[in-house]
Every structure is written in structure tokens, then in C-alpha cells.
Amino acid sequence: FLILVIENIGAYAIPSWRDSKINTLIKIKDSAYAFNLPDGMYYPTVLRLPAYYPEGYRTVVRTDTPQSLENCSLVLQNGEDEYIILKQATSYTSGIISGEAREAPMINGVQAEALVDQKGYFYLIWQYDGYYFFLGANALPLEEQVKMAESIK
């Protein structure tokens, strides 16, 4: 994995090459917040990750750093054109998504907002533990989105 930090805003993990020095640098097992990457690599995170992931989806992009709580995201992909986007923000406006409002479910006892954006992604938007979460998907049933959202702790 090659990890790029762009303007101290995000880190992008890109499958490319492996180097033992890089592996040593990113194995931070004592961190309270660690994301377990494939084959045992670790790096710290501020993004609250769901405990439940729909079958077949894999992480393709992560944008978060321990220094940046303002707007973090995770992109999952299943096949060629099925995506899930999870954003976490400290304010509603820093993660704002515009679209057409839809009927929204409750997420862990909190009334969520729901909308469909101009690209056809169905988003659930809710607040939990001081953060705003935006969970969008273009091919995932609402029940699966709710299950994924409720697994974020």
C-alpha cells in the first residue's frame, strides 16, 4: 500500500507496492483507534468504522488522519459500479450533500434524514456521539444501509 497525505486533509491508501520500512511505520497496534487492513497492517483512524459490512464490499479509498476530524470518509466497492460512501463530519455543513428528500428510518433511536443525490445515491444522514454521519449507496437496499449505520459505535 502507498499512503499519500494531501494538504494534511486526508490519507489515501492505494494498493501499489510493499516495503518493509513502510510496513513497520504503519503497524501502530497500541493505538486506541486502529483500522485492521488486509494482511495485518494497521494505521490510526479518527473515522468511526461500522462493525457490519455488506457481503462482497471492499475498501477502495479512505480519507482521514488523526489530525483531521472535520471531514473523514470511507469508500467501499462491490464489483465495478456498486459503491458505499461513509462520511463523518464535525458539522452538518462540512459533509453536506444536496438532493431530494425521502422518507427516513430511525438509526439507533435517532430520526435520520434521507435523500437521493444527483448521481442516484440514497443517503442516510444522522447524528451520533457529536458527529454527523452521511451513508450513501447506489445499489444497497435500505435495510442493509440501516444495519451498517446502526453498527457504528
Contact present, 88 and 48 (Cβ < 8 Å): yes
pTM, rounded to two decimals: 0.67
pLDDT, tens digit, 9 for 90 and up, residues 46-88:
788 899 999 999 999 888 765 555 678 889 999 889 999 998 8
Q: What is the mean pLDDT of residues 17-25?
A: 39
| Beta strand 106-107 pairing with 100-102 | unpaired
**48's grid cell:** 468511526
